[in-house]
Structure 1
Amino acid sequence: MKWGFGWEMGPFEAWDALGVEKAISKMESEGKTVPAWVKEMVEKGFTSFYKEEDGRLSYYHNGEYVAAEENPKAINLKHLKKQKGVIKKNGGASLIDLGDGIALLEFHSHSNSIGPDILQMINFAIDEVEKNYKGLVIGNQGKNFSVGANLAMILMEAQDDNIWILIWSFANFSRRL
């Protein structure tokens, strides 16, 4: 339902985010009818519609959690990081083993803006992939792939007369690609 409406969360994910028991209490206090099966679910000790264990998503169905089907062609970085772990990370990026000899460099700075942390991780990723992998993918599952360079960081470095460090970082990055 969330895809058809462009929602970030579906209705049951929203209930989980609010807290199912808290949502039931609020609905009842406002005179709303809560479906009997939802009350029964909570009475049996199931406090959420979805749960995640070992990087696998399950959903509540008829008194138990059932593993959700995953598209083998789709990559869910959140689950993948829990299953395989992260090779290395810093404040701006993570290097993840995708399997099959491929690594993925994921940006996770604010708006995925490129700053020193990402440049440092790109240089590390290139070295690591040349030694131990067949290929590198750069991507993420954020709203934007990247908004570009972190202009606030560039301004601060320029004000501190460190602009040559930035020029060297970008030149080194470009040369390595």
Structure 2
Amino acid sequence: MADTPTSTEQHRQEAPRTVACRIITVSDTRTPETDSSGQLIRRLLTEHGYAITGYGIVKDDYDGIRALLREAADAPAVEAVLLNGGTGIAGRDTTFEAVRSLLDKEMPGFGEIFRMLSFTEDIGSAAILSRAIAGTIGRTAVFSMPGSTGAVKLAMTRLIVPELGHVMRELYKDK
């Protein structure tokens, strides 16, 4: 009997090879020169053939985050938005609330698996403090991860880069 690909393998084979991505760093202190996490996202995306359509830094401010995310999601040239920073539980951390308020559909598995991987591979029980979240706004995929370079590397290499094309295939298959 010939090996038949699983539906997940078939979906990955049908997935687009590139995705147009906007990067948003949420920080009160970072600049483009000191934003190592934003730079890491850019490097990992381009190494895997994804396109960067824009990059910006926004203060950790609920309304500012929402406005920049809404603008990115409404831009025809943007298929995915990747945010980093502001996902903790400190009073100033509002990324989770801002992102969640705009999502049409949430992908709870992203945050669940990110925290599980963080727990087992990286930071142990401190993983409970992470509020990573992903979902969709219309046909735009949104991924929000913590701002540390370790967290970004984990989210990008273990979850986002391997599945981004598959996510886009699902969002656009009925188009």
Q: State TM-score, norm by structure 2.
A: 0.26
Q: State TM-score, norm by structure 1.
A: 0.26
Q: Which protein has the larger Cα radius of gyration, Structure 1 or Structure 2?
A: 1
